[in-house]
């Protein structure tokens, strides 16, 4: 049986949680990569840190409602919830992503 992963509903996405999650440079880099590729396996972000550290960042993004994680076999695939975020806070992610500095990693 597949493990259930909790995602907040669109209505449960909290502005403070989104802003807090996006304040971290590693999480911004993960989000910027997802904007480029659409969906990525968790292992695809290894240049951003250790597996333990990245697991923490994935959880923060998911719990804030920024990303969605789905399990396919042994893989965990992450994608952005841009439509949900746009419905909840129109223009917010566009503004954050436009202003996000690109890190050197």
Stretch 8-34: mean pLDDT: 95
Per-residue burial over 64-94, b = 16 or more CB atoms within 10 Å of its CB, e = otherwise: bbbbbbeeeeeebebebbbebbeebbeeebe
- pLDDT for residue 102 is more than 90: no
Sorted by where each begins, the domain ranges of the chain are 10-94
Q: Which of 17-26, 47-56, 78-87, 92-101 has the lowest mean pLDDT?
A: 92-101
Per cent of the chain over pLDDT 70 is: 93
Query: For position 5, what pLDDT does the model report?
Result: 86
- pLDDT for residue 105 is more than 60: no
What does the block give as tokens for 20? 């807090």
Instruction: Indicate the CATH number of 10-94 among 1.10.10.10, 3.40.50.300, 3.20.20.70, 3.30.460.10.
Output: 1.10.10.10
30-80: per-residue pLDDT in tens? 999 999 999 999 999 999 999 999 999 999 999 999 999 999 999 999 999
Query: Is there a contact between 34 and 78 (Cβ–Cβ < 8 Å)?
Result: yes
> Which residues, at least 6 apart from 38, have a Cβ–Cβ distance to it below 8 Å?
79
């Amino acid at each position: 049986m597949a493990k259930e992963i909790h995602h907040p509903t669109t209505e449960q996405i909290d502005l403070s949680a989104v802003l807090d999650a996006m304040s971290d440079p590693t999480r911004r880099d993960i989000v910027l990569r997802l904007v480029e590729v659409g969906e990525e396996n968790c292992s695809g972000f290894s240049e951003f840190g250790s597996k333990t550290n990245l697991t923490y960042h994935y959880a923060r993004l998911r719990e804030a409602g920024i990303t969605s994680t789905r399990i396919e076999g042994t893989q965990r695939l992450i994608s952005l919830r841009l439509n949900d975020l746009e419905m909840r806070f129109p223009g917010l992610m566009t503004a954050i992503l436009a202003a996000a500095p690109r890190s050197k990693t």
